[in-house]
Structure formats: structure tokens, C-alpha cells
A and B are shown apart, each in its own frame.
Chain A
Amino acid sequence: MLELKNLCKRYGQTQALDNVQLSVGPGEIVGLFGENGAGKTTLMKCILQLILYDAGGITLDGKLITRQNIGRFSFATCEHSFFPALTAKAHRDFYEEHFETFLGRRFEGLMDFFQLPMDKPIRSFSTGQKNQFEVIMALSQGADYILMDEPFAGNDIFNREDFYKVLLGILEPHETVILSTHLIEEVPGFIGRAVLLHHGKIVGDTQTAELDEQGKTLMDYVKETYSYQSDRVSRALTELTGKEDEDA
């Protein structure tokens, strides 16, 4: 169980995370949503100990996150965390040596599925291929908690759909995924829980099954939670052009 208690992080005057309380259990697939600057990336980096947090605590199965258990997390980020000058084969060898849990068969299978070359440096890949490789490494590390921060930025819709399907097909019951994305319409069939961040605070946390029971879509829930004003576009257009928006 991953537990975040009263997590606070401030960048200068900006409160990036404000008393965040969150528990994520084994096997959950959690979607992390929020506007730009809501604190999604900061939250993930705090979990991974990539940045220092100011207050609160993060534990994994009751233990602080140290070098002893950091290998239970993997990370796929749109910033990319692979070694661009090395080949996929060199990455596999390196991961095998450092992560005892590395899933070689999964790695080979995913590389085959996405038809990525093993012997070319990753820097020669297209943006979409780089994203695919980033996610493949995160999935193949054999981590219990797979953190993904906008991993499909730059990939086309077919590519993303393929990934969601593959992910659902290959994940083991104990594997937990925390996926941060803006592509809310694409993930309802994939995630089991939605966590909404706003100005560093958790403003919504629900199971998608509960939304189904209530007859709501994930998008409805997000709009409702953020008090989205659907008429703001037409109002803005009216103010800008001085005439009523005909479509509104």
C-alpha cells in the first residue's frame, strides 16, 4: 500500500501540493487528473523521491521510501528517462542487472508488438517511438507501482488505444498503475479510480464503477468537480466580438 500523508510542497510562493492525503493499494489503476500546474507531476516526483517535499510523509507498505525499496517503483515520463545514446538492447541488459524483477519476456513482447528496433540508439527513434519505449521500460522493470506522467504526449490516437489495450492485457493483479493524463475521454475504460487535483489539493477521488452506477461519465464528474462553466466560451466570445455567439 502506497500512502501519502499530509504531503506539502511549495515552489517559492506557489503551493504545489497542499496537505495531500492518498492511499493506493495493490492492483489499482488510478487516473490522476488536473489542470496544468495542479501538482500531478510534483506528486509523482515526490513519491519517487526525485524532489524534496516540505512536510508530510510517504510510505510504501509502512516503510519510508529509500534506496532499498525505490526499485518497486517505475516511472514513465513525457520528459523521458532513458539513455538516448544507448540501444534498446543495452537498456535491457542494464535493467536486468539492476532490477531482479525485470520482465524480459514482457520487454521482448512489447518491443515486438510496437516493432521497435533493438540495435539502434533510442535518440534515432521518432517521438512516438520514444514514448513507446519509455512506457515499455516502465512496464518491464517488474515494479509493483508503475507511475506514468503524460506518457503518450505526441502519440497518435491509434497508438494510444493500442497501449491501453495492451496494458489491460498484460498487467498482473498486484501491479498498480498511477497514470497522469489530460486525455480524460480516452481512459474511462482503462482506469478503476479517478483522483482529481486542483491547486495542489485533492478535490475528487472516486471509483469509476461508482460513476457507472450513478450514470455519470468521467468527464461529467471532472466538470462537476471543477465547477466547469460550459457557457464561458460563448460569454467570452460575446465580450470579445461584441455579438452573440450563434452556436451558443
Chain B
Amino acid sequence: MKKQVSVFGLHVRAVLPRLLSAALGLLAVELILTGVCMIRGTAITLAGSDLEHALQYPFRAGILALQVLLASCFGSNSRYGYTLRRLRVSERCVFLWSCACSALCYAVLWCVQIMASVGAAFWNASSARYSAGPQGVFVDFYRSGFLHGLFPLADGYVWTRNALFVLALGCVTAYMQLGMRRKGSRSWLVCMGLTLLLVLCLPVQYGAGRSTGIFHAIAALLVGLAFLGFGLTQTHSGKDGLADEVD
């Protein structure tokens, strides 16, 4: 188990600086955009306002940026896969740890975005001449499709969808890492295209959780399972000691 934890630790060490830079970059961009929006005028409600857009688009871009950063987290110009394949831990386990670590990174970025959105909503509420106060912020998370999709409060369907989104993103990113390790993989465009589709599906209106949310959840589940399957079949279980063809 110690060796398994160590592989996870290796991933954490590699992704931490990249996750930090993605999160801080996202916060900085959103702070600037929120400030600009506030100068131009506060909104009574965030739904459909400039402030909602100022939060929504950087987050989508942030997810894509984080994906690129995570996929190349160990660096390029090295065959570090040779080292991973000399471990007692199988390459398949390494892939699974990579899925878990990447999913965790997306979950952290998601939490950062929730905090940024709540902060921006409170800032807007406290600055607006006519404001419903904290209760208005609460209502914003039901009225705005983006904010509801991000932080669905009591909407269990959307929470499930979000969890599956994060897991699917983790699997896609781990597969991209595997491609980096193996070199010559041309799957990046497909991976990023699918991620873009998931990211475009982020907003979900209150009340649509049971229909749209479930549809999104199934899509995320299929994407996640597909890439998990690709990764598991392309990595070696380590049971018989034979190698995969890497060159």
C-alpha cells in the first residue's frame, strides 16, 4: 500500500504547482473582470448579467487550461514511463492513480470557482443600490443557469452530474498523460474536443436537473468510462511480467 500511496504522491507533487497556477490565474482573471463589471454598474440579479459572463467564461477556459497543464505535469523530453515500468506497482495502477489525482484537481478548481462566485455575488449584493441581500445571493444560485450548474444547492441530480463531470475529466486527462508518456499519441484533439463539449454543458437551469442534468450525467459517464477503458486496455496489468509495445 505504501508504494501505491507513493505513486499517488508522485502525481500530487507534479500537479500541485500547476493546479495552484491554474487556480490563482482563474481567480486573478475573475477578480479583474468582476471589478470591471462592478465599475460599469451592479446588477440586481446575476442571472443574465455581465457579471455572470465574467465568471462563466474564465471558468470554462480554466478547465481547459488545467487539462493541458495536468496532461504535461511530469514534463516533456523524457521517457519517464521507463521508470514507471520498473516499479512493483503496475502501469494500470499508475493510470488509475493518475485518474484519481486529476479528478481531485478538477474538484479543487470547481471549489475555487464556487468560492469566487459566492464572493462575487456577495460583492455585487453589497454594492448594489437595490439588493435583496444574502437572500438574493441564495436566489442567484437558482436563477442563474451557470451558478446553479456550478453549485446546485439542494438539486441532487445536478450534484450527481457534477461529480460525474469531474470524474470524466479526470479519466480524459489521465489518458492524455498516458499519451504523453507513450509519445506519438494523437488523441489530444479528441480529448480536448470532448472536454470542450462537457464544459459547454456546464449551465443547467433550476428544474431541469431531472431532464438535462441526467442527460449530461449519462454523457459524462460514457466519456469517463470510454477513456477509463482505453487507458486500462492500453496499460499493462503486471500479472505476467510481459511488456506492452511502447516503441
Which of A46-54, A174-182, A189-197 forms part of the interface with chain B?
Answer: A46-54
B40 at interface by CB-CB < 8 Å: no
A84 at interface by CB-CB < 8 Å: yes
| Complex CA distance for A79 and B181, rounded to whole angstroms | 12
A123 at interface by CB-CB < 8 Å: yes
Q: With contacts defined as CB atoms under 8 Å apart, how many contacts are there between chain A and chain B in the complex?
A: 103
B75-A83 in contact (CB<8A): yes
Residues of A within 8 A of B64 (CB): none
**Number of residues on chain B facing chain A (CB within 8 A):** 34
A225 at interface by CB-CB < 8 Å: no
B39 at interface by CB-CB < 8 Å: no
Using CB atoms, name the residue of chain A closest to B86. Answer: A70
Residues of B within 8 A of A90 (CB): 10, 13
B247-A81 in contact (CB<8A): no
B80-A67 in contact (CB<8A): no
A73 at interface by CB-CB < 8 Å: yes
B6-A81 in contact (CB<8A): no
B135 at interface by CB-CB < 8 Å: no
A81-B79 in contact (CB<8A): yes
Using CB atoms, name the residue of chain B closest to A137. Answer: B83
A82 at interface by CB-CB < 8 Å: yes
B85-A49 in contact (CB<8A): yes
**Cβ proximity bits B73-99 to A, threshold 8 Å, 1 near / 0 not:** 111111111110111111000000000
Using CB atoms, name the residue of chain A closest to B237. Answer: A67
B78-A66 in contact (CB<8A): no
Question: Could you say which of B6, B10, B78, B242 contacts A52, with CB atoms under 8 Å apart?
Answer: B242
Shortest Cβ distance from residue B188 to the other chain A in the assembled complex, whole angstroms: 18
Shortest Cβ distance from residue B21 to the other chain A in the assembled complex, whole angstroms: 12
B238 at interface by CB-CB < 8 Å: yes
| Complex CA distance for A64 and B78, rounded to whole angstroms | 28
**Number of residues on chain A facing chain B (CB within 8 A):** 32
Residues of A within 8 A of B3 (CB): 97-98
B82-A48 in contact (CB<8A): yes
Using CB atoms, name the residue of chain B closest to A42. Answer: B247
Using CB atoms, name the residue of chain A closest to B80. Answer: A83
Question: Could you say which of B9, B78, B245 contacts A81, with CB atoms under 8 Å apart?
Answer: B78
| Complex CA distance for A82 and B87, rounded to whole angstroms | 13
| Complex CA distance for A11 and B12, rounded to whole angstroms | 37
Question: Could you say which of A51, A82, A97 contacts B80, with CB atoms under 8 Å apart?
Answer: A82
Residues from 53 to 107 in A contacting B, C-beta threshold 8 Å:
64-68, 70-71, 73-75, 77, 79-86, 90, 94, 97-98
Task: Supply 4 further A-B pairs (C-beta < 8 A) apart from A67-B241, A81-B83.
Answer: A71-B88, A83-B10, A83-B83, A86-B10
A-to-B contact residues, CB < 8 Å: 45, 48-52, 64-68, 70-71, 73-75, 77, 79-86, 90, 94, 97-98, 121-123
